[in-house]
Structure formats: C-alpha cells, structure tokens
Amino acid sequence: MCELKIHILADKTPAAKAAFEELSSLYPSVSAAKADVIVVLGGDGFMLQIMHKYLNKNKPLYGMNRGTIGFLLNAYSTENLPDRIKKAMMIDLHPLEMTAVTASGKKQTAMAINEVSLLRQTHQTANLKIAINGTTRLDSLVCDGVIVATPAGSTAYNLSAHGPILPIDANLLALTPISAFRPRRWHGALLKDHYKVTFTIKDAKKRPVSATADYTEVKNVISVSVKEKSDIHLPVLFDVEHNLEERILKEQFAE
C-alpha cells in the first residue's frame, strides 16, 4: 500500500502551533502540491479559511480541532493518523456564489461555504424584495437582515438567528430573516440547493445594506443574487466516530 502523503497546516494559536510541532515530529509533511490530503489544525474559523483556499483543487481536507467548538473538525489525536484518514468518510461540499451590484454600478462576486448574509448598515431597517428563480415570493421584508445558509453553515450564524439546522447531505438551503419587523410571522424558508435567490434592496439610499459571503463584504448593495456552484467541489473528511449526523441531531435538541 502506498504511503499517505500529508501536508500539515496550523493556525497561529498556541494550541494549534503545539499540535503542529507534535504531528510534524511523527509524520513527515510534504508540500501541498504533492500531498494526498491536507491536515488542518485549528478551529472552525481557520478551517473555513483553508476551505476557501483549496476550493475546487481536489485536495481532501482533514481537520483536527485545536479551537473551541470544532463542528467541522475531528478530535485531535496523534495516534494512527494515516489509518484514521484512510478510514474517514468523505463529504463533498459546494459553495454559494454571491453576485452583488452596488449603488455605483460595480458588480462583485464572492464564494461562501457557510452563508451569504445581508445586513442593514445604519439605524434604518433594511427593506428587501426576495425572488426565487425569478419569481417574487416576498415583496417587502423589513428587517435587520437575512441569511442564505448552506448545510455546513447552518449551525453557525444561521442557528444564532434561529434558523434551522440542515443535515449535511440535505440538498437544501436555509433562508433565514434576522429580526424581521414585517411580516412579523415570516420565519424563513427551506429551498432546494439549485434555486437561485435574488434580493433587491428597496429605498437603498435611505436604507443602505451590505452583503457578506463568509468574510467578503460588499457595502451599499442594490441587488444580490445567490446560487450554489455545484461544479465547484470541496472534499472534507470526517472520522466515522465523529458522526456528523449525530452531532447535527444533538444540536437540534440542545437546551
């Protein structure tokens, strides 16, 4: 059996640096170009950065938690790392593509693995028109903002805004309002992952809105479209005992 070639990346935190030194002394790290798998040491934020870096490069990512929550990371251990990686389950993630048009007419695109969020920029609430696949579904959402979340991101900002947690293989997107004022009783929607969501900012001069794809922010937008990029692949590896589905279930019944 061929030896597994790994490339180790670590965050700048003391815990991640210590883990890097420990792993590097046990397992040789080759260059990223020659590696079969990228081992990521850090928290969810660092994992997200590396996911963006390796989008569509066909390099499986195996994360080990040296941060806080570590929802998308495996438990840290130095034992039998090559065997753990070989036995891990692979999940193929697809990012969202955000296309934002600003008040000055500039168009900017960005990718999101977790979510695309629209947020008011001032004390004035945002007023958004929402269309799905070109059909207006909500003519006016008066709110602090709105989120389009992937299954991978549904336990992040989306959950904090009381959005639903999505199983990683659900083929759905969560459309979740943030502090909706009108209509008060609209709590969001579940959408097929191939749907295109378009937001039009109403009265954008008086009620300015910014749009953010993960950590890429565009200010003073007048329209934003969001769609999944199914042709872009990001393979992520999970230990069988990590049981991502079980963690998702536990999150939904957490006190």
Give the C-alpha separation, 245 to 191, whole Å: 20
Q: What are phi and psi of 247, to 5 degrees?
A: -65, -40
Give the C-alpha separation, 142 to 164, whole Å: 20
Give the C-alpha separation, 95 to 144, whole Å: 24
**Cis ω before 183 (30° cut-off from 0):** yes
Task: Name the token pair of 58.
Answer: 């066909």
As a three-state string, the secondary structure of 64-118 is EECCCCCCCCECCCCCCHHHHHHHCEEEEECCEEEEEEECCCCEEEEEECCEEEE
Number of neighbours of residue 244 by Cβ within 10 angstroms: 20
Which positions are catalytic?
44
Task: Name the token pair of 71.
Answer: 């929802």
User: Are 207 and 125 within 8 A, CB to CB?
Assistant: yes
Give the C-alpha separation, 153 to 251, whole Å: 13
